Chains A and B, each alone.
Chain A
Amino acid sequence: MTDTQKPVTDITTDYDIFAPDFVKNPYPGYTEIRESQCPIAHTERYEGSWLPTRYDDVVAIAQEYETFTSRQILVMPPAAGRTEGPYAAVGAPPITSDPPDHHWHRRLILPVFAPQAVAQYEPGTRDLCNALIDEFIDKGVADAASDYAQHIPVRVISKMLGVPLTMEDEFTDWVRGALENITDAERRIKSFRSIVEYFIGEVQSRAANPREDDFITQLMNTEVEGKKVPIEYVLGVCNLMLVAGIDTTWSAIGSCLWHMAQHPEHRKQLRENPDLWPTAVEELLRVYAPVTMARIVDHDIEFQGCPMKAGDRVLMAFPAANRDPRQFENPDEVILDRQNNRHVAFGSGIHRCAGSNLARLELRVALQTWLERIPEFELIDPTSVTWAGGQVHGPRKCMVKF
């Protein structure tokens, strides 16, 4: 039997992040681990990993980047063949970088993602959301995930990169192949190669015909200490834009619409008090944080009584940390005007999600536009909603009527 088929005996020693129940709703499992004698669980599945579930532990590990490195950041070991071949050196900087390179890997892209820089994408994102709603509003039913949420980040990122919107289906397929079908090694490798080969083509086309004001061109022309950045860096950042910028934000938008479909009181609260939007978005990010990252232990260490060995994988369960009652009052409750909210949906420390300001903008605009156009809606059948999980958690089918 494969790791995903064996029933879980004890969640603190044998958790399975790809078990169907866990994929659908991981929160009861996180709570069970967090409140047990072993709040940092361990499993032998998928070549083994540790799973801290308390806020303080997750944050402490995120801050200790020398001990808990980003040599690998996916929740699964790399697929066979990923570390070989001509593209082996292409990562997803700065997520996959450690200091000292991490500093310049991150410094170069941060200005593009600062709040004042991403603000320019707000009108286009609003137009795009409206155009998607135009397609289905007269039908009275829609799939909030696949008719709406899924299309938003991929189009914003394509525009930002300066690549044609016609690539949407391929990008979506590759990203899902890389992140969602994570137990299908062949598809993971194929998806990764497709991404790299596509961007090699984009780089070559710009080398032959230089363009102005284009993110990929800017990356290609960037110099560090008087030298152009290596091609692996350019390709790596493009890879990052897809794998970190699409599935994640679309999952958050989908989860929030799934929530809103079931909570008319929250729709009403936002309608009556639009000033609540900024804190409401942070609260929704806390409760529906989509992303779990990983770290690789650098050297043998005992952390909170756990004997971690060099090379061990640690899963950074930000969604679990965000629901720790030691940090958040009534953590499973959505309180749109929550006062104290040091949530870590975007991580903590030097690897804070570089695209967080863009993600936040997309999430707010997607929800605002939907609620303006479709103020009242509900799930058609709560049991028919399907979910992705493991690395990125969010609905993939979510039929609603209005």
Chain B
Amino acid sequence: MNMKVLLDYDSCHGHQMCAIAAPDVFGSDEIGNAKVLITGEIPVELHTKVRRAESNCPERAITIIE
């Protein structure tokens, strides 16, 4: 199964809950807003964490494409 993530940078306000849930996929930029670390295919072993990142974002800024 293929998976990619899209981040809506305008909606992100830096809660960092994605980076807590999936630190291999989401990080922090200079001001603490989210940064996508894997822009291509997400490895299968990280899919569960990415789903948690999506379902923990208070701003609903993450979209998973499968």
Q: A: which residues have CB within 8 A of B?
A: 59, 107, 110-111, 113-116, 278-279, 282, 339-344, 346, 348-350, 352, 356-357
Contacts and interface: CB of A to CB of B under 8 A. Distances in A.
B57 interface: yes
A352 B15 contact: yes
B15 A113 contact: no
B58 A356 contact: no
Interface string B1-37: 0000000000001111101110000001111100000
A346 B28 contact: no
Contacts of A282: 17, 20, 56
Contacts of B31: 107, 110-111, 114
Contacts of A107: 31
Interface residues of B, number: 20
A343 B30 contact: no
Contacts of B32: 110-111, 113-115, 357
Contacts of B14: 110, 114, 352, 356
B41 interface: no
B13 A350 contact: yes
Given A114-B31, A278-B20, A352 B13 contact: yes
A114 B19 contact: no
A339 B52 CA distance: 6
Which A-B residue pairs are the 8 nearest by beta carbons? A114-B32, A110-B31, A340-B55, A352-B13, A342-B58, A278-B20, A115-B28, A341-B56
Contacts of B13: 348-350, 352
B28 to A, nearest CB: 5
A344 B56 CA distance: 10
Contacts of A344: 58
Given A346-B15, A348-B58, 10 more contacts: A107-B31, A113-B32, A114-B30, A114-B32, A342-B56, A344-B58, A348-B13, A348-B59, A349-B59, A356-B15
